Amino acid sequence: MTHAKLIRPSASFYASWLESWDEWGTLDQDGAAAFVAARYDLDLRDSSDFAAWVEVLHHLPRESFQPPGGLANQSTIWVVRDDVYLGAVSLRHSLVNEYLTEVGGHIGYGIRPSARGHGLAKFALKGALDEARELSMERVMVTCKQPNVASARTIEACGGVLERVCPPESFAPDLGVTEPILRYWITL
């Protein structure tokens, strides 16, 4: 975690973000990237679409901004070190749909594979919790897949109290859940 910092998204991290995407092998690096980009029909491999996506991420936290269906107002924070994008955390200000209420929770985070194991997820989650406090949120739900022991430990280290383990069959089929989900609450 040495010298890592939390920043608002910036188009200047385009090349580094793409490298992270390639490491992940998927667009959904932080629990929100793919969903937001799809709602705005943006190709994040295109530099101008990437810049437009970053602009959307700057608008999403504003109460006056009405996101398209399925999206919640949210704050996105990036983890960077030495001008390299390392990961992100998204704080959804409310749980606006069944997926968020049951599966996604208030906070989604992800650290690029080459940067894991250095406390960056905990650093990012703590940053999101600070943001939640600034928004006067009283508690937040954070979830992870049961096999993701590292994420469960991160949530617990930040005060997460396990509400329950939800088997995949407990969710509506259209939510696409294939593994048990651990649902945690963190009181702020």
What is the spatial distance between Cα 71 and Cα 78, in angstroms, rounded to a whole number? 19
Q: Which two tokens stand for residue 146?
A: 């049961």
pLDDT digits (tens, 9 = 90+) for 53-103: 999 999 999 999 999 887 899 999 999 999 999 999 999 999 999 989 999
What is the model's pLDDT at position 26? Answer: 72
pLDDT digits (tens, 9 = 90+) for 19-42: 999 998 876 666 567 778 888 899
**What domains appear along the chain, each with residue ranges and CATH number?**
5-137 (3.40.630.30)
Tell me: pLDDT of 51 over 60: yes
Q: Which two tokens stand for residue 152?
A: 């469960």
What is the spatial distance between Cα 5 and Cα 77, in angstroms, rounded to a whole number? 10
What is the model's pLDDT at position 39? Answer: 85
pLDDT digits (tens, 9 = 90+) for 117-173: 999 999 999 999 999 999 999 999 999 999 999 999 999 999 999 999 999 999 999
pTM: 0.93
List, as one string, the DSSP characters of the chain: -TT-EEE---GGGHHHHHHHHHHHTSS-SSSSHHHHHHHTT--TTSHHHHHHHHHHHHHTT-TT--PPTT---EEEEEEEETTEEEEEEEEESS--SHHIIIII-SEEEEE-GGGTTSSHHHHHHHHHHHHHHHTT--EEEEEEETT-HHHHHHHHHTT-EEEEEE-GGGS-GGG---S-EEEEEEE-
